[in-house]
Amino acid sequence: MLHVANGSVPNAVEGADLRIVGGEIIDETGQFHRRFDATPGATHVVRPDQHLAARFRHFEARKVAEAIARAKGRPVASA
């Protein structure tokens, strides 16, 4: 899970490693921001094969957890 720095750190989501773009990951050339429309607070779920599985403008733990489940081929409980 990649989260674009916005002054807050999202809660942990089971099954996801959190990396902060603009924190521990530095986008020196701005390429990530341009290619992924990475606005502050956006969260991206990236599979191990580097496929972008989901993108959210704002972090919501439930939605991120559901995206991770779908990416892993697991059932997602309907709301």
| Cα–Cα distance measured from residue 1 to residue 47, given in angstroms and rounded to the nearest whole number | 8
Could you tell me the pTM of the whole model?
A: 0.83
| Residue 79 domain flag | no
- In a domain, residue 60? The reply is yes
pLDDT tens digit sequence for 13-54: 887 889 999 989 999 999 999 998 889 999 999 988 889 999
- Residue 22: inside a domain, yes or no? yes
Residue 32 inside a domain? The answer is yes
Q: What is the mean pLDDT of residues 8-14?
A: 84
Structural domain count of the chain: 1
Q: Read off the DSSP letter of residue 25.
A: B
Considering the domain boundaries, does residue 42 fall inside one? yes
**d(Cα 71, Cα 79) in Å, to the nearest integer?**
18
pLDDT at residue 79, rounded to an integer: 56
Using CA atoms, how far apart are residues 24 and 20, in angstroms rounded to an integer? Answer: 6
Domain carrying residue 24 = 2-71
